[in-house]
Structure 1
Amino acid sequence: MNKTLQLGDRDLLPPEIIPFLASYNLIGQLLSQSIIESAIASITCTIEETSHALEQFCQYWDLNSEEKIQSWRLRYGLTQEQLELFATRKLRVEKFKQLTWGHQLESYFLKYKRRFDKVIYSLIRIENREIANEIFFRITEGEQSFSELAREYSQGPEAQTSGIIGPVELGSMTPNFAQLLCTSQVGVVQAPMPFGESWVIVRVEKFLTAQLDDFMRQRLLQENFETWFQQQLNQLSPEEKTWMGINTKPAQVQEVNAA
């Protein structure tokens, strides 16, 4: 078995590999992958799944003959079993997600459904309160349309879309603004309200209810996986966290001397 790591025209001996990885700041990536590898160690694939994964792997790396496959495997010092594990890694990660969180997706979705719901709304934002009130009056009295006034007066990027924004997930908004939209009736123009340093006039155009379809299931599995992974990072030693680029120092509190 080859006892060196070939990188281009350079051969790295085992004692050189870790310093080499450290010099390119790759230790953190190695640690993160080892966390995942430990989690999926007990996940297995069927013979058919392994065969399909190997076929896709060889196509990707242009290993179109048994000779090329063996040469590639020997170059990186992999046994056939290790090659199969490498080829099926992505599938085993997906199986791990499904086995760990698949049974609770419906309850998770229902718990957080509101932040997945989307809304389309019209918006005009103005810094001057008097002008905002005047615009609101023109809309409610039918003197000018919302879209026309948005193009003319709104002081944000929505001016380029006639005031229309969305569809936007409620979970991506600030809680206060999401609450404002959720409590608004579709088609009803809301009177100017202070928001940050501006006054906003809002009209909800349409609510789009989130569905627990295949795309959403994959998204929720990934969210749970990322939460789990962050928890694993929090359990690392201070030295390992340093390699991962995680700040382990407590926030410094600056003392303010009285004048």
Structure 2
Amino acid sequence: MSDILKISQEDIIYHIKISCQIPSLLEAIAARKVITETAEKVGITIEIAELQKSADNLRLANRLIKAEETWEWLQKHYLSLDNFEEIAHLNILSTKLAHHLFADKVEPFFYAHQVDYTSAVTYEVILDDEDLALEIFYALQEGEISFSEIARQYIQNPEIRRAGGYQGIRKRSDFRPEISALVFAANPPQIIKPIITPKGSHIIVVEEIIEPELNEQIREKILGDLFTNWLKEQVNKLEIIAKLENDINFSSPPVEILNKAS
């Protein structure tokens, strides 16, 4: 085999077919068409300054600081400068369409689902022995041992152990349901009685419950979710028909293959 491997367009399409990626690609293509056609219908336009900013954000997202880095990235992905501009254009078009459709729906959605955005600051140790977990829980309550001591002794992961079992700021959806119910019912700072799950016995310290505020980060997250859900609904309404060369005719499938499959 030579050092140079030449791959044709037919090879690429064939690989996409046999790796079963055609459906996801068709959905992505349909989504792009929905965005462009809807934006045109509602009269969304892109200014040169907006396109430039979108291109700058695209370079930043891919850590393309220098011109040669951008050129190498384009070559790696078989893109032209026009393709790069098209990507930037679609990005800003999607953003502006999302704001056009849902900017006024973000705040009502947030207050209707405010409980989902409440967060908790927790520390956690998971033990295999339920009796030991209960014994440690009572020792913690009596002040006979500190949580950091337990973390150093029972947490295997080095980074989590060094952080004293700190789990960060987590939303309700980040917890198992049986844990979430108790964590968000806690009165911080509070040590929760061991919770049994398939992972083991969880000893959790709830340090703080953070009530949500509609900041820019949450606003953009809600806007993005609303737009993504809308886009999926629009694509699902479409009957997508793709015409590929040498398409297989499924009107009379090989009987022996179907028999083996069944």
TM range (shorter): 0.5 to 0.7
Counterpart residue identity of residue 136, structure 2: I
* Identical columns (%): 19
Q: Which residue matches 1:33?
A: 32
Larger C-alpha radius of gyration, 1 or 2?
1
Q: TM-score, normalised by structure 1?
A: 0.65
Q: TM-score, normalised by structure 2?
A: 0.65
Q: Within 2, Cα distance between the matches of 1:85 and 1:154?
A: 49
> Against the structure 1 CA distance between its residues 239 and 191, is the aligned structure 2 distance closer, same or farther, given a 3 Å change threshold?
same
Alpha-carbon distance, 1:197 to partner: 4.2
Q: Which residue matches 1:105?
A: 106
Q: Secondary structure at the match of 2:40?
A: coil
Counterpart residue identity of residue 51, structure 1: I
Which range moved further: 231-240 or 112-121? 231-240
**Structure 2 residue corresponding to 1:210, chosen from 209, 212, 224:** 212
- Deviation string 1:148-188 (CA, Å, 9 cap, x unpaired) is 11221246674342122111122222222211101111022
2:58 matches 1:44: no
Counterpart residue identity of residue 133, structure 1: L
Q: Secondary structure at the match of 1:192?
A: strand
Which ranges in structure 2 are unaligned for 5 or more consecutive residues? 1-8, 17-21, 60-65, 67-79, 243-262
Counterpart residue identity of residue 131, structure 2: E
**Which ranges of 4 or more aligned residues in structure 1 deviate by more than 6 Å?**
57-60, 84-87
Counterpart residue identity of residue 162, structure 1: G
Q: Secondary structure at the match of 1:204?
A: strand
Q: Within 1, Cα distance between the matches of 2:34 and 2:237?
A: 11
Q: Which residue matches 1:93?
A: 94
Aligned length: 205
Q: Which residue matches 2:172?
A: 170
> Against the structure 1 CA distance between its residues 56 and 205, is the aligned structure 2 distance closer, same or farther, given a 3 Å change threshold?
closer
Q: Secondary structure at the match of 1:139?
A: helix
Which ranges in structure 1 are unaligned for 5 or more consecutive residues? 1-16, 63-75, 79-83, 241-259
- Deviation string 1:41-89 (CA, Å, 9 cap, x unpaired) is 22333xxx523245558988x9xxxxxxxxxxxxx9x9xxxxx998654
Alpha-carbon distance, 1:220 to partner: 1.0
> Against the structure 1 CA distance between its residues 58 and 170, is the aligned structure 2 distance closer, same or farther, given a 3 Å change threshold?
closer
Check the 8 A contact 2:179/2:195 in 1, yes or no. Answer: no
Counterpart residue identity of residue 121, structure 1: T
Which range moved further: 220-229 or 91-100? 91-100
